[in-house]
Amino acid sequence: MSKQKKKKKRNIAFPLCLAVCLLAVDFFACGLFFELTSRSESRQFYSSLATRTVQRSSAIDFASLKSSCPNAIAWIYSSGTPINYPIVQGKDNRYYLSHRADNTSNENGAVFLNQKNSPDFTDDNSVVFAHHLATGNMFTSLEKYRSQSYYKAHPTMKLITPSATYKVELIAGYVLSGSSPMFPIRFATNVEQKDFLDHARKNSIFNSKVLAAPQDRLITLCTCTYDYKNARLAIVGKLIKQ
């Protein structure tokens, strides 16, 4: 091959490689832009929603909440943490992974109750899911319960429904595989409840002296964690009606 042909090929190849690199950079930049925009929109939406919805003494204006979030069934709040969100419930456990509480498409999702749970939190164990995000929003702060001092500072949460307000006393938190069987929502016997709680306590990331009686209703908060591939973090508490 002549030197002139080689030079011609080099002259073609360089602009082509440059164009591919620029397209790759542009694609990455666009993806990053939309990701950051999605995070910002989600944060602003939930902050504005809390301002409009949460009244004095943490009372919730459910009429106002349902006007923008028709599938809202409750509100969860943890003082001094980012957790201050409506809880919604969908027809499946996938929709609200990619939609906000007002049903707007957003990869940051919503805090949502397991589709099989009763919406009034009367099951033996109500299971609530939300994302673990780099922004620190949704259920990301549950990771901080790995610190005993954090647990001591935030040993309780508040769950508010249209018919009742509950104090959530945290019992245990543990890591499990995302491929594990779904958390039980009803216990056939008292022994089943005891086994569930014993397992949670045995593997807990913090120490709690909170006990649960057979008649107590539980709540399990679940999010992703990164101890290993497909890991989940579950925080278990009991509901005490106020």
pLDDT > 70 fraction of the chain, expressed in percent and rounded: 83
Q: What is the dihedral of CA 10, 15, 20, 22, to 10 degrees?
A: 140
Please give the pLDDT value at position 53. Answer: 85
What local confidence, expressed as pLDDT, does residue 23 receive?
A: 39
Query: In order of start, what are the domains of the chain with their CATH numbers?
Result: 53-241 (2.40.260.10)
pLDDT in tens, 72-117: 999 999 999 999 999 999 999 999 999 999 999 999 999 999 999 9
Per-residue burial over 41-72, b = 16 or more CB atoms within 10 Å of its CB, e = otherwise: ebbebbeebeeebbeeeeebebeebeebbebb
Distance CA 84, CA 105 (A): 20
* pLDDT over threshold 70, residue 145: yes
pLDDT of residue 203: 98
3-class state of residue 148 by DSSP: helix
At position 64, the amino acid (one-letter code) is: S
DSSP state for residue 161 in the 8-state scheme: -
For residue 13, pLDDT beyond 60: no
* pLDDT tier for residue 169 given thresholds of 50, 70 and 90: very high
Higher-scoring residue by pLDDT: 16, 151: 151
- Other beta carbons within 10 angstroms of residue 124's beta carbon come to 18
The token pair that represents 140 in the structure block: 């990301």
- pLDDT interval class at 38 (50, 70, 90): confident
Residues in Cβ contact with 162 at an 8 Å cutoff, skipping those fewer than 6 apart: 62, 73, 74
What percentage of residues in the chain have a pLDDT greater than 90? 76
pTM for the structure as a whole:
0.84
pLDDT in tens, 205-214: 999 999 999 9
Mean pLDDT in residue range 181-186: 94
Residue 21: both structure tokens together? 């690199």
End-to-end CA distance of the chain: 87
